[in-house]
Amino acid sequence: MTELINGTGTGAGAGKGQGQGQGQGLSLVPKAEARQSLKDFKSDQEVRWCPGCGDYAILAAVQSFLPELGLKRENIVFVSGIGCSSRFPYYLNTYGVHSIHGRAPAIATGLAASRPDLSVWVITGDGDALSIGGNHLIHALRRNVNLNILLFNNRIYGLTKGQYSPTSEVGKITKSTPMGSLDKPFNPISLALGAEASFVARTLDSDRKHLQSVLREATAHRGASLVEIYQNCNIFNDNAFEPLKDPEVRDDITLKLEHGLPIASASKAVVRAADGGLEVVPRQSVDPARILVHDAHRPDPSVAFALSRLDEPAFEHVPIGIFRQVDRPSYDTLMAAQLEEAVAQKGQGDLAGLLTGGDTWRIG
Amino acid sequence: MTKQVQQLDRVIIRFAGDSGDGMQLTGDRFTAGTAEFGNDLSTLPNFPAEIRAPAGTLPGVSSFQLHFADHDILTPGDAPNVLVAMNPAALKANLADLPRGADIIANTDEFTKRNLAKVGYPANPLEDGSLAEWRLHAVPLTSLTVKALETFDISKKDAERAKNMFALGLLSWLYHRPTEHTVSFLQTKFARKPEIAKANIAAFQAGWNYGETTESFSVSYEVKPARLAPGLYRNISGNQALAYGLIAAGVQTGLPLFLGSYPITPASDILHELSKHKQFGIRTFQAEDEIAGVGAALGAAFGGALGVTTTSGPGVALKAETVGLAVTTELPLIVVDVQRAGPSTGMPTKTEQTDLLMALFGRNGESPLPVIAPMSPSDCFDAALEAARIAVAYRTPVMLLSDGYLANGSEPWRLPEIDDLPDLSAPFTTAPNGPDGAFLPFLRDPDTLARPWAVPGTPGLEHRIGGIEKADGTGNISYDPDNHDRMVRLRQAKIDGIDVSDLAVDDPGGQARVLVVGWGSTYGAIAAGVRRVRAAGGQVAQAHLRHLNPLPANTGEVLRRYDKVLLPEINLGQLALLLRARFLVDVISYNRVRGLPFKAEELAGVIQDVIDSGDRQ
């Protein structure tokens, strides 16, 4: 055990390759010997979200996805902050920390940076991640700490009973904003891309297949992955994402992002605008060759950023999927490399040598 | 002409100049020479928070005081015997501390009309007779330096900048300091600029030669090496000793050290030092803020590292919530608070002992944690080891209260034998501890009340911890009233039960009726004050608290043994409040919060007053 966490050799070789990183993400996490099933990941704790909460769907999707990774359960850690979503770790039979409001990325950074053999997940919400914890989120992303960050975005404060959140639309009437909220909301995807996150995606609580496909890519990615999950709060902000779920309109407004494929919904397509930006046009009217082909691996994040702005005004068309997925050394790898470098230059740490290393003199 | 050599038993020198004059470096080098020579010594750097305050102004004055002696000393000294004043501001800012008859070496080149006006001197004090009660040595340090460096291929500015080395050379001559060391230091420091190195060495030697030849100095002084305990010594500052102590703690616990920290005066040097020693497997993480620093350290501790965060008062305020999480999740964590003058930003480079109550009580809920404080710069090493011992053995955050005086002050340190360092290892839990192979993360060790430390990667011990109240044993979320009451008491009992050594009392005469108690960095000044009182025939006992929580078991008994208990603190009576509340002893407080350490003479007077007032009763 001590060997596992001690020493400086951990992380050697990981992320040093120049490939696209797929499959690298969990290469240092030991594999389970036996096949696993959903029930291996259910804890004995009673799940206590409101009936109908979108969190149930996400929990079920994660619990049924984890066996697919085939990792030793004891090498998985879920870290959360405070809020409804942050109860998540209690319901998974892995290691877990339910920490304090906004600080999960910071706590997880210390864990992931010192333990490359762990699969570390951060579970957070729009208030936790973008309000009180905004600073930690952007720094975890820019450092590319090896974390899977799941941001449950329901655009409302649930646990404190219904105040507007940093992703609520302007003019939101809530208990704390009876005359309507004044604040311009954050777009979490734009924010993450602004922090130059190496993996940024958006998915939906009710679409298990898509959610799990994104998780698959996120876990294969070594470094920080931010997955925004639109999640319904049926108590305080019901049907916030209804257009994306309504069979009548969802296929028209969902712009699916799939690497190498044209970006389009059933009736709309994304093309380069004359002013150099992006615009959404009726699909029928456009030459298919003009439709923007999604390149999630593009080193420069500016096109991904432009894509993240397409849902303004809200929900006329919403990009869903992986906005960005680029290879960049993971923070733990860089840190471990420095420790190795220090040993290579100075030899293993020698306490006696350190203490007597300055100018000394002897008495007696 | 052979100059007279006078023997002294101790000397206090203060170098003072503008922030840009290199006074800290000059002081450091003089200290290194003095340490090499074998004197006992103690230093007090004193500098403004501004990196470069406007040149020549009073706020820009930076000073370095060094006390060295042929016997063991405890403080950087009360009043300088010699003041080196590199400009009028340095003279004006320091003259009040200088006893009549002391030497003043003033750089006349800087006493220009403009510089005098800047600090409000109507006339030149070097010429108007106002310094008649001191022994004034007016030396054109700058122009002598420039003249000595005429033949060097360097700019006039660079030549002028070497004036601190000229001053160092002069003082080295005056006090018979060895020179080889400074020469090799300058060669290393300016290895990439050989011409600058040569110029600085030449300036240093010119200063020495000036002392040897000028008539301004007719006497030089010798202070014989001190007879200290046998052993191998080095000079060390508090921050460096603390960093070394943390490295040693990593080695002695067998745990990888993880430092999460955010730069803050006067703690940053610990981060700097630890980041230089990654060959020990030390991970240093400069976080985005104070909260992330402690958060990352706690996360690493959950993963099995020795988690450490280093900061000063404002940082402790920000970290409070995470420290509370460490209290309730019962994970080992070391929080180093290098205290500085507050409240708020206060005076970042000035010392104070004002965070004691924050350390003890500055969190929401009943949130007890151990608090310890080192008593001298070199003692920071031992204090770090002690903090690690408690943190690991009892699974608790520990607050270590250093301060600006310890952090930047230095003294000779007798190096410990590595084999004598304590074994601090505390194995992780690797097997279930409950019925039917269950793991109970809050089932306690009956002796220490510590809970198991089971780190991720250990099969069968998967568990969830967090800030919500936990059921005794299982650690599951619990809102049960009786459980909460029990857990609050258990957490308190665990801290109260920490094994700390008894409070030792120093009372060589055995007749004292007055006890002086202190904690932390005031040790030196108190002990020096006590010595003076005893030398004058007074009887006084001294005790010094390293553990502020839990207090040693015999604390109350010791306090009650004396008619009077005097407690000097660099705050408004924080420990006094605690001792009065805990032991109902009418502690007499002596408090100064001037951003500076106590002086021995000052405390000797206070102690004598307490003794005398006792006699009158």
DSSP string spanning B50-105? STTPSTTSGGGEEEEEEEEESS---SS-SS-SEEEESSHHHHHHHGGGSPTT-EEE
- Beta bridge partners, B207, equal none
Which residues of chain B lie closer than 8 angstroms to A2, CB-CB?
254, 304, 428
Contact status of B233 with chain A (Cβ, < 8 Å): yes
Contact status of B415 with chain A (Cβ, < 8 Å): yes
Between CA A155 and CA B373 the distance in angstroms is 47
List of residues 6+ apart from B332 with CB closer than 8 A: B301, B306, B307, B391, B392, B395, B396, B397, B398, B453
Q: Is residue B21 part of a domain?
A: yes
Alpha helices in B214-281 (DSSP H): 238-253, 268-274
Of the candidate ranges A76-80, A181-185, A204-208, B182-186, the one whose mean pLDDT is the lowest: B182-186
Look at chain A and count its residues: 364
The distance of B320 to chain A (nearest Cα, Å) reads: 11
Task: Please report, for the domain that includes residue B357, its CATH number.
Answer: 3.40.50.970
**With bands split at pLDDT 50, 70 and 90, how would you rate the model's confidence at A361?**
confident
Same domain for B123 and B212? yes
- Give the structural domain span for B282: 234-420
Q: Is residue B452 part of a domain?
A: no
Question: Has residue A8 got a pLDDT over 60?
Answer: no
**Cis, bond preceding A288 (omega within 30 deg of 0):** no
Same domain for B167 and B239? no
* CB B418 within 8 Å of CB B252: no
Query: How many inter-chain contacts (A to B, CB under 8 Å) are there?
Result: 230
3-state secondary structure of B315: helix
The distance of B58 to chain A (nearest Cα, Å) reads: 35
Which residues of chain B lie closer than 8 angstroms to A349, CB-CB?
247, 251, 277, 279-282
**Under an 8 A CB cutoff, do A79 and B299 touch?**
yes
Same domain for B217 and B240? no
Helix axes A208-220, A54-69, angle to 10 degrees: 50
Mark which of B353, B385, B420 sits at the end of a domain.
Answer: B420
- Give the structural domain span for A67: 18-255
Q: Is residue A273 part of a domain?
A: no
Residue with tokens 């190195």: B197
* CB B575 within 8 Å of CB B356: yes
Write the single-letter amino acid at B38: G
User: Cβ-count burial of A226 within 10 angstroms (0-12 exposed, 13-18 middle, 19+ buried)?
Assistant: buried
DSSP string spanning A222-281? SS-EEEEEE--BTTTBTTTTHHHH-TTTHHHHEEEE-TTSB-B-SSEEEEE-TTSSEEEE
Which residues of chain B lie closer than 8 angstroms to A88, CB-CB?
none
ipTM: 0.94
Q: B145: which DSSP letter?
A: H
Same domain for B413 and B538? no
Q: Is residue B475 part of a domain?
A: no
Same domain for B214 and B256? no
Task: Please report, for the domain that includes residue B543, its CATH number.
Answer: 3.40.50.920
Q: Is residue A275 part of a domain?
A: no
Q: Give the tokens for residue A267.
A: 């009736």
3-state secondary structure of B123: coil
Same domain for B95 and B216? yes
DSSP string spanning B156-218? HHHHHHTHHHHHHHHHHHHTT---HHHHHHHHHHTTT-HHHHHHHHHHHHHHHHHHHH-TT--
Smallest Cβ–Cβ distance between A74 and the set B279, B428, B457 belongs to B457
DSSP string spanning B84-95? EESSHHHHHHHG
Task: Please report, for the domain that includes residue A179, its CATH number.
Answer: 3.40.50.970
Going edge to edge, which strands form the sheet with B283-286?
Answer: B283-286, B257-261, B306-311, B333-339, B397-403, B371-372, B547-549
**How many C-beta neighbours within 10 Å does residue A192 have?**
34
**With bands split at pLDDT 50, 70 and 90, how would you rate the model's confidence at A25?**
confident
Beta-strand pair B505-506/A318-325: unpaired
The Cα-based distances of B413 to A87, B510, B528, B611 in angstroms read: 51, 30, 18, 34
List of residues 6+ apart from B510 with CB closer than 8 A: none
Mark which of B420, B454, B486 sits at the end of a domain.
Answer: B420
Contact status of B456 with chain A (Cβ, < 8 Å): yes
Q: Is residue A220 part of a domain?
A: yes
Res B480: pLDDT: 98
Closest-CA residue of B relative to A347 is B279
Residue with tokens 């290194």: B32
Write the single-letter amino acid at A87: R
CA dihedral B308, B312, B313, B316 (to 10 degrees): -20
Going edge to edge, which strands form the sheet with B135-139?
Answer: B40-46, B61-69, B10-18, B82-85, B103-107, B135-139
Q: Is residue A84 part of a domain?
A: yes
Q: Is residue B398 part of a domain?
A: yes
**Under an 8 A CB cutoff, do B465 and A110 touch?**
no
Domain count, chain A: 1
Question: Has residue A286 got a pLDDT over 50?
Answer: yes
**Under an 8 A CB cutoff, do A139 and B292 touch?**
yes
CA A193 to chain CA mean position, Å: 12
Question: Best interface-test mutation with B: which of A39, A121, A334, A351 has the largest number of B CBs within 10 A?
Answer: A351
Between CA B311 and CA B319 the distance in angstroms is 9
Question: Has residue A24 got a pLDDT over 80?
Answer: no
Longest dimension (CA), chain B: 93
Between CA B186 and CA B206 the distance in angstroms is 15
Q: Is residue A333 part of a domain?
A: no
Same domain for B80 and B192? yes
Question: Has residue A22 got a pLDDT over 60?
Answer: no
- Beta bridge partners, A152, equal A125, A229
Q: Give the tokens for residue A233.
A: 């709060």
Residue with tokens 């006893």: B99
Question: Which A residues 42-81 touch B at CB under 8 Å?
Answer: 43, 45, 72-77, 79
Mark which of B175, B192, B222 sits at the end of a domain.
Answer: B222
Same domain for B242 and B216? no
Which residues of chain B lie closer than 8 angstroms to A352, CB-CB?
418
Same domain for B239 and B380? yes
Q: Is residue A295 part of a domain?
A: no
Question: Best interface-test mutation with B: which of A8, A44, A97 has the largest number of B CBs within 10 A?
Answer: A97
Question: Which A residues 83-112 touch B at CB under 8 Å?
Answer: 89-90, 93-100, 103, 106-112
Between CA A226 and CA A301 the distance in angstroms is 14
Q: Is residue B481 part of a domain?
A: no
Give the DSSP H or E segment for B333: strand B333-339
Q: Is residue B9 part of a domain?
A: yes
**Under an 8 A CB cutoff, do A99 and B466 touch?**
yes
Same domain for B158 and B24? yes
Give the DSSP H or E segment for A136: helix A134-143
Question: Best interface-test mutation with A: which of B298, B321, B411, B462 has the largest number of A CBs within 10 A?
Answer: B462
| pLDDT per residue as tens digits for the range A26-68 | 889 999 999 999 999 999 999 999 999 999 999 999 999 999 9
Contact status of B446 with chain A (Cβ, < 8 Å): no
Domain count, chain B: 3
**With bands split at pLDDT 50, 70 and 90, how would you rate the model's confidence at A3?**
very low
Q: Is residue B299 part of a domain?
A: yes
The distance of A202 to chain B (nearest Cα, Å) reads: 26
Q: Give the tokens for residue A16.
A: 């040093």
Res B598: pLDDT: 96
The distance of B279 to chain A (nearest Cα, Å) reads: 5
Between CA B54 and CA B58 the distance in angstroms is 9
Q: Is residue A276 part of a domain?
A: no
* CB B400 within 8 Å of CB B360: no
Res B1: pLDDT: 53
Q: What angle do CA A305, A308, A313 make, to 5 degrees?
A: 130
Closest-CA residue of A relative to B467 is A99
pTM of the model: 0.94
Between CA B542 and CA B240 the distance in angstroms is 28
Contact status of B295 with chain A (Cβ, < 8 Å): yes
**With bands split at pLDDT 50, 70 and 90, how would you rate the model's confidence at A314?**
confident
Contact status of A201 with chain B (Cβ, < 8 Å): no
Q: Is residue B487 part of a domain?
A: no
Smallest Cβ–Cβ distance between A360 and the set B232, B260, B288 belongs to B232
Task: Please report, for the domain that includes residue B176, its CATH number.
Answer: 3.40.920.10
List of residues 6+ apart from A46 with CB closer than 8 A: none
End-to-end Cα, chain A, rounded Å: 45
3-state secondary structure of B107: strand
Between CA A203 and CA A245 the distance in angstroms is 12
Same domain for B268 and B208? no
Block means of pLDDT (10 residues each) for chain B, 617 residues, are 86 94 93 90 88 87 95 94 97 96 96 96 96 96 96 94 96 93 91 94 96 90 92 95 98 98 98 98 98 98 98 98 98 98 96 98 98 98 98 98 96 96 96 95 98 98 97 96 98 98 96 97 97 96 98 98 98 98 97 96 97 70
At residue B42, φ and ψ (nearest 5 deg) are: -155, 140
Same domain for B215 and B244? no
Contact status of B556 with chain A (Cβ, < 8 Å): no
Write the single-letter amino acid at B72: D
| pLDDT per residue as tens digits for the range A175-189 | 999 999 999 999 999
